[in-house]
Amino acid sequence: MSVEAAHAPLARTKDDTLVRIRDLHVYFNVRRGPFLKRHDVVLKAVDGISFDVNSGETFSIVGESGCGKSTTARAILKVETPTKGEIIWRGLSLAKIDPAQTKAYRAAVQAVFQDPYSSMNPRLRVLDFVSEPMLLNLAIGKKERRERSERALHQVGLRADDLNSFPHEFSGGQRQRIAIARAIASEPKLIVLDEPVSSLDVSIRAQIMNLLKSLQEDHGYSYLFIAHHLGTVRYMSHMVGVMYLGRMMELSESEALFTNPAHPYTQALFSAALPDHPDVERKQVLLRNDVAAPTEIPPGCRLHTRCPFAMPVCANIEPEWKEIGPRHWTACHLI
Ligand code: SF4
């Protein structure tokens, strides 16, 4: 079965936007407080974000841990159900797709996580791991699953014979190649990469990033890339969204963001994490205080309790989203 036939229930949109995220909210009810006084509070993991992932492009989300980037990825993977808002895949709202369309979606959207070993059953061979998404989501026979698995392994630089081996026989970098083979064997459109190189040594990290880039060039995959290492994000991305406490603070083409970050939070994130280049004068911005809890998001601009530029208006009125350049948006009363 061709990939188009396998994905047929999902309609195409006319433009090159693969997935549109619109006003996405993901809230959780959690129990808090001491014994006998426990009560429900709402944890706002994702609190109203919108962005597009275009065909053949990498959209990265950066931000401190707990900012909502992985929850966003899990919502796109249909692991979390949005509390509000929409995820629109090639013109269809994910909330409205039927079981057949859901299967096609699960084949078309694959994932690679930080630690592939934890998701590998040590008693199952690589073939079982790589072919599992095809078994679950595509109406293709055993022979074709085997052929696609062999092809995928070859594309990630491993041998077809490796399908008969067990996960413990491979290094960390090889296991991540196997996880990528599992993702591409279904011939997906979008691959969610959640910290895919964070646990790898620097030299192996570079090899895996180069592999992901060349697979994208050859096959036109879109990536949703979640990472905290900003150098990696800069290398991989076409577009970058900067998240803080469940909300997007800035969204831009990658180079424009890294050369000219506009929002105080982006500036602070870069000040803390990127080394100074001798030829580039970078504004040093330091945040005060600790990040607020996602159960107690401050009113107004949610960064105001930490922002060195905060003004009285910031504590009361949420800044509006503004376009400040080609494919570059931010929300701050200073801008
Ligand atoms: Fe800082 Fe105010 Fe801008 Fe928020 S709106 S980032 S608090 S200056």
Domains of the chain: 15-261 (3.40.50.300)
DSSP annotation string for 317-330? SPPPPEEEETTEEE
Residue of the CA atom closest to atom 4 of ligand 1:
301
Check pLDDT > 70 for residue 158: yes
Q: Which amino acid is residue 109, in one-letter code?
A: V
Check pLDDT > 50 for residue 2: no
Name the residue among 266, 246, 241 with its Cα closest to residue 327: 241
Is residue 314 lining ligand 1, measured as CB closer than 6 Å?
A: yes
Is residue 287 lining ligand 1, measured as CB closer than 6 Å?
A: no
Q: What are the pLDDT digits (tens) for 311-334?
A: 999 999 999 999 999 999 999 999
Q: Calculate how far, in angstroms, residue 248's C-alpha sits from the geometric centre of ligand 1.
A: 13
Q: Ligand 1 atom closest to Cα of 314?
A: 2
Q: What are the pLDDT digits (tens) for 167-188?
A: 999 999 999 999 999 999 999 9
Q: Calculate how far, in angstroms, residue 250's C-alpha sits from the geometric centre of ligand 1.
A: 12
- Provide the pLDDT confidence category of residue 250 given band limits of 50, 70 and 90: very high
- Which is more confidently placed, 314 or 32? 314
So what's the pLDDT on residue 37?
A: 77
Pocket perturbation via mutation, ligand 1, pick of 249, 318, 332 by most ligand atoms within 8 A of CB: 332
Placement of tokens 């026989």 in the chain: 169
276-305: average pLDDT: 84
* Residue 69, number of CB atoms within 10 A of its CB: 28
- Provide the pLDDT confidence category of residue 8 given band limits of 50, 70 and 90: very low
Q: What are the pLDDT digits (tens) for 205-237?
A: 999 999 999 999 999 999 999 988 899 999 999
Is residue 310 lining ligand 1, measured as CB closer than 6 Å?
A: yes
Pocket perturbation via mutation, ligand 1, pick of 247, 311, 317, 330 by most ligand atoms within 8 A of CB: 311
CA 8 vs. chain centroid, Å, equals 25
Gap between the Cα atoms of 213 and 205, Å rounded:
12
- Which is more confidently placed, 199 or 237? 237
Gap between the Cα atoms of 158 and 176, Å rounded:
11
State the burial class of residue 162 (Cβ atoms within 10 Å of its Cβ: 0-12, 13-18, 19+).
buried
Is residue 333 lining ligand 1, measured as CB closer than 6 Å?
A: yes
Q: Calculate how far, in angstroms, residue 244's C-alpha sits from the geometric centre of ligand 1.
A: 12
- Provide the pLDDT confidence category of residue 3 given band limits of 50, 70 and 90: very low
Gap between the Cα atoms of 122 and 81, Å rounded:
30
Is residue 319 lining ligand 1, measured as CB closer than 6 Å?
A: yes
- Tokens standing for 149? 């698995």
Is residue 261 lining ligand 1, measured as CB closer than 6 Å?
A: no
Q: Ligand 1 atom closest to Cα of 263?
A: 6
Is residue 43 lining ligand 1, measured as CB closer than 6 Å?
A: no
